Amino acid sequence: MTRRVVLTTDFSECAQRTLDCIPALKVLGFDEVVLLHVINPHDLAHVLSGLGSDQQLARIKTQVESILAETAEQANGWNIPVRPVVKFGKAADGIIATAREEDAQLIAIGSQGWGLVKGAVLGSVSERVLRYAPMPVLVIKCGPGSAGDEAPCGPDHLNLFRRIMVPTDFSDASLEARDYILGLAEHLREAVEELIVIHVADRFTVFSERQYEEAPAQLRRVARSLEAAGYRVRTLLKRGVPFVRLAGTVREEGVTLVVMGSHGLSRVREMLLGGTCAEFVRTVDRPVLVVKQG
C-alpha cells in the first residue's frame, strides 16, 4: 500500500519553507507527497465579477496548478514523488477531504502564513485541521515564534528526528503517540539520537502524592517498550501547567520534534487537543506531530 502524505501550501513564505521537510517525510517511510492548495471562492469575491466568475475561477485554478507543478518538479529531486492537487472550498475542510480521498496517512501543514485573505493559519485553518482530521497531523513551525530563522527541518533533514519529545499522561489516548513511534521504528530509530518521554503532573488537577510517586514507574514502562524497539530513551517527570512546562522543556532540552496524542486527561478531561495540545502548538517553537486516537 502506498504511504501518502498531504502537504499543504498557501504560497506564504512559511508554507514554501515547509517544502524543506519533504526529504524528512521520505525518512518516515512515505512513498508519495500530495502538494495541495485549496482555493476558497469566497475569499476571492472582491476580484470576481458576477458574470464570467466561473471562467475567472478556472483561470485562477490554471495559474495555481502551474505554480504547484513547478514546485512539485523542484521537489521531485528529493527522490520522492510529489503530485500537485488544487481544490475549491474552505481551506480546512478541503485539506481534510483531500486527505480522506487520497487515503493519506498524514497531513503536514505550516503554522504561520497568510491566505488569500489576511488570517493567521494557526489561528484558524491549522487548529481546525488538528481538531477534525482523522489522521495524524504534522504542524511545521516557522516564521515569528519559531526557532530562529533556520528552515523548520534544519539544513539536514534528519535533524527533525534528532531529539523527539513524547508527552504522556498514561491514558490510552496519549499512548497513541508511543505506539505511532513504535510503528515507525524500522524507518526512524537510526535517525533518533534520543527520545524524551515526559509526564507533567497538572497542578490544577486533583493529583495525589501516591499517584505522583507511581509516575516514575509508569514512565519507565513506556520507556522500556520504546527501548525494546531500538530507541535510546530518557524519562522526565515535572509538575505545573502542562503546556507551559512542555514548551519550556522543548527549549531546555533542544527538542527537534514533539510527538503527542490528541486527547488525554486533565482538569477539563481533555489534556491535549481540547486544551493543552492547542495551547502547546501555539506556544512551542518546534514541529509537532499530533497522533489521533483510534
What is the residue extent of each domain of the chain? 4-140, 162-291
Give mean pLDDT, residues 181-203: 91
The whole-angstrom separation of Cα 208 and Cα 118 is 47
Q: Which of 36-40, 180-184, 290-294 has the lowest mean pLDDT?
A: 290-294
- CB 134 within 8 Å of CB 291: no
Cβ-contact 43, 115 below 8 angstroms:
yes
pLDDT at 117: 35
Confidence at residue 264, expressed as pLDDT on a 0 to 100 scale: 44
Q: What is the pTM of this model?
A: 0.86
- The CATH superfamily of 162-291 is HUPs (3.40.50.620)
Contact 117, 129 (CB under 8 A): no
Residue 144's pLDDT is 46
pLDDT tens sequence across 125-174: 888 898 889 999 999 877 544 454 455 565 566 788 999 999 998 888 88
Q: What is the pLDDT of residue 55?
A: 78
- Cα–Cα distance, 95 to 126 (Å, whole number): 10
| 200 in Cβ contact with 240 (< 8 Å) | yes
The domains spanning 4-140 and 162-291 adopt the same CATH topology: yes
Nearest-CA neighbor of 3 among 133, 136, 110, 106? 106
pLDDT digits (tens, 9 = 90+) for 263-285: 643 433 344 444 567 777 878 88
Task: Report the pLDDT value the prediction gives residue 7, as an integer from 0 to 100.
Answer: 94
Domain 4-140 listed as CATH 3.30.1330.10: no
Q: Is the pLDDT of residue 19 over 90?
A: no
| Greater model confidence, 45 or 94 | 94
Q: What is the mean pLDDT of the chain?
A: 81
| CB neighbour burial string for 56-87, b if at least 16 within 10 angstroms, e if fewer | eeeebeeebeeebeebbeebeebebebebbbb
